[in-house]
Structure 1
Amino acid sequence: MVEDEELLLAVLNSAPVIDGRPTDALRGEGATEWVRTTLGGRGTEAECERLRLVRDELHSLIRGTTSDTAALTTTLRRARLRPEVSSAGVAWELETPPDERLPVCVVLAWSRVTTELAGRLRACANEECNLYLVDHSRPGTARWCSMAACGNRMKARAHARRRRTG
Structure 2
Amino acid sequence: MIDERALLEALNSTPVRDGRRQDLWADDAALRRWAQAHGGPGADAAADWLRTARDLLQSATRGTAPETDLQRVLTGACRLPEIGESGLRWRLTAPPERMLAVELVLAWYDVRERRPGRLRPCGNDECRLFLLDRSRGNTARWCSMRTCGNRLKARRHHERARQAPAP
- The reply to whether TM is greater than 0.5 is yes
Q: Deviations over 1:71-117 (max 9, x none)?
A: 21011111111111013211011111222111011111011100000
Higher mean Cα deviation, 143-152 or 48-57?
A: 48-57
- The residue aligned with 1:97 is 95
Q: Secondary structure at the match of 1:150?
A: helix
Tell me the CA shift for residue 38 of structure 1.
4.8
- The residue aligned with 1:152 is 150
- The residue aligned with 1:116 is 114
Work out the percentage of aligned pairs sharing the same amino acid: 45
Tell me the CA shift for residue 137 of structure 1.
0.6
Within the candidate set 100, 109, 134, 1:136 is matched to 134
Asked whether the equivalents of residues 14 and 22 of structure 2 are also in contact (C-alpha less than 8 Å), the reply is yes
Q: What is the alpha-carbon distance in structure 1 between the residues aligned to residue 146 and residue 56 of structure 2? A: 28
Tell me the CA shift for residue 29 of structure 1.
4.5
- The residue aligned with 2:124 is 126
Runs of 4+ with >6 A deviation? none
Aligned partner letter, 2:89: A
Q: Which runs of 5+ in 2 are unaligned?
A: none
Higher mean Cα deviation, 54-63 or 115-124?
A: 54-63
Q: What is the alpha-carbon distance in structure 1 between the residues aligned to residue 132 and residue 70 of structure 2? A: 20
Q: Which runs of 5+ in 1 are unaligned?
A: none
Asked whether the equivalents of residues 12 and 59 of structure 1 are also in contact (C-alpha less than 8 Å), the reply is yes
How many residues align structurally? 163
Aligned partner letter, 1:31: A
Q: Which has more radius of gyration?
A: 2
TM-score by length of 1: 0.90
- The residue aligned with 1:16 is 15
